[in-house]
Structure 1
Amino acid sequence: MPTSQPDESQPSQDRATPDRLLHTRTGTEVSPEDVVLVTGRDITPRNLEWARRKLAEEGPAAIEKLLP
């Protein structure tokens, strides 16, 4: 009786995600709304202002610093 073998063409669920897939930069602009949403906060005038300041200080890389 043949035993079932896992399909080796499928990625294993127990492996870590490669670093190249974890970065968010896609060549598009990062908006204050993006920064607010990545923190899990609601889009409010106060949070948008915080995100604008963060982007002004750190540039688009600010979103990378917020992601795990």
Structure 2
Amino acid sequence: MSTSQPDDVSRPSRDRTTPDGLLHARTGTDVSPEDVVLAAGRDLTPRNLEWAKRKIETEGPAALDKLLP
């Protein structure tokens, strides 16, 4: 009976960590207020949509990137 350990490929490795810049899901398309509201975990209400519009005006597309893991 073999007592070998599973291959290291199944375990995450600290030296193979994906850089933060590659983790964002935005595809280069325009960021909508709805995208920002949903990424923030908020409900789609007029108040939250206004908040998101202001956030996009201030931060640009990075507004969404900052909310995503």
Question: Would the TM-score normalized by the shorter structure come out above 0.5?
Answer: yes
Give the CA RMSD over aligned residues.
2.3
Length-normalised TM-score, structure 1: 0.72
Q: Quick check: which one's helix share is greater?
A: 2
Query: 1:44 aligned to 2:33?
Result: no
Determine helix, strand or coil for the equivalent of 1:9. helix
What residue in structure 1 maps to residue 33 of structure 2? 32
Q: What amino acid is the match of 2:36?
A: V
Length-normalised TM-score, structure 2: 0.72
Spell out, residue by residue over 1:9-63, the C-alpha distance to the aligned partner (whole angstroms, 9 max, x if none).
33x2464851244223322221111100111110101101110111112111111
Distance 2:35 2:17 in 1: 22
Determine helix, strand or coil for the equivalent of 1:55. helix
Distance 2:26 2:35 in 1: 12
Q: What amino acid is the match of 1:63?
A: L
Aligned residue pairs total 67
What are structure 1's unaligned runs of at least 5 residues? none
What are structure 2's unaligned runs of at least 5 residues? none
